[in-house]
Each structure stands twice: as structure tokens, then as C-alpha cells.
Amino acid sequence: MKKIQSKHLFLFAFWPLAMAILFNITACGGINPNSTASFDKFRTGHFKYADEARFGDFVITRTADSQVDSGTLTQLVVKFDLEWETDTSYVLKYKETLANPQSIQLPDLTGMNRHCYMTEPDDTSYLEVSTSSLTLDTQIIMTRIVLRK
């Protein structure tokens, strides 16, 4: 078996972290801090995750200071406190599970928070780039959030 040189091991170990940082910088590069009018319609209202295969059929109800994620099939309902950091970034902090009639086993959500950044808006959606305190590694999650009519 061929020995891995220490410099290669270093590159192998830190490659995912370097790529995550680079990806985060480039993904958020589309945010223009001087132009936030196009994000206003996403601050409150009813939305859903566009990628149902990955995130399930969840409906988002967002007010000025809270967000409730409701699974239409699972009937799982989770409430978060919402704090806006800027016009395009916010933090969701787990508050409580409002309903879980199918007894879905969830990780301990106490103290969980998710930092979300809104990018690439169009007429009916935006791309959300987020990180969560539930993972030990810095994991960047990207999903399109769509206005629900």
C-alpha cells in the first residue's frame, strides 16, 4: 500500500473546509447591500421549499418575528423565533415543536439556530444559503424558497 505523504494528507483533510468557505463567499457574492427592495416580499408571508425530494413538502409561514415550518404530509409543525440581521440575512432559533402526530424521531433541537442568507431573487423565489448549529462540520445548505399562493 502506498504511503500518503503528510502534505497530501493536509490537503485531503482541509479540502472540504476550503471548498465550503470558497463556496460561501461566491454564493453570497450576488447580494448587493445597497439594493434590498427585491427581497422585501420575502420577509413575511407563505412560502415553500422548491426541492420537495430533498426537504419534503414543507410550507413556511413567516411573520416579522417568527417562522413556522409545517409538513403537509408528515403534519410535523416546528416554530422558530426569527431575528433579522440585515435586509437579506436572518437567524432562526428553535422555539418549539407544535405538532408531531406521527411521532417522527427528531434530534434534540434545544438551542438550535440556523443562519440564512437570501440571494438570487426573482419574481417568485429566492435562493437561501444557510448553515445550522446542528452539524459539527460547517455544512452549507442551499435551497430555493418559493412564494406560495
pLDDT tens per residue, range 30-84: 444 444 448 999 999 999 988 777 667 789 999 999 999 998 888 999 999 999 9
With respect to residue 96, please indicate whether it lies within any of the assigned structural domains. yes
With respect to residue 63, please indicate whether it lies within any of the assigned structural domains. yes
Q: Residue 102, SS3?
A: coil
With respect to residue 1, please indicate whether it lies within any of the assigned structural domains. no
* Number of structural domains in the chain: 1
Beta carbons of 98 and 78 less than 8 angstroms apart: yes
With respect to residue 86, please indicate whether it lies within any of the assigned structural domains. yes
Number of H helices, E strands in the chain: 2, 8
Say if residue 8's pLDDT is above 70: no
Domain of 47 in residue numbering reads as: 6-147
pLDDT given for residue 2 in this prediction: 46
pLDDT given for residue 54 in this prediction: 65
With respect to residue 65, please indicate whether it lies within any of the assigned structural domains. yes
With respect to residue 43, please indicate whether it lies within any of the assigned structural domains. yes
Say if residue 136's pLDDT is above 80: no
Residues 14-28 pLDDT 10s:
333 333 333 333 333
Radius of gyration of the chain (CA): 18
Residues 84-130 pLDDT 10s:
999 999 999 999 999 999 999 988 899 999 999 999 999 899 999 99
With respect to residue 113, please indicate whether it lies within any of the assigned structural domains. yes
With respect to residue 68, please indicate whether it lies within any of the assigned structural domains. yes
Which runs of E-coded beta strand occur in the chain?
45-49, 58-62, 66-71, 77-84, 89-99, 113-119, 125-132, 141-147
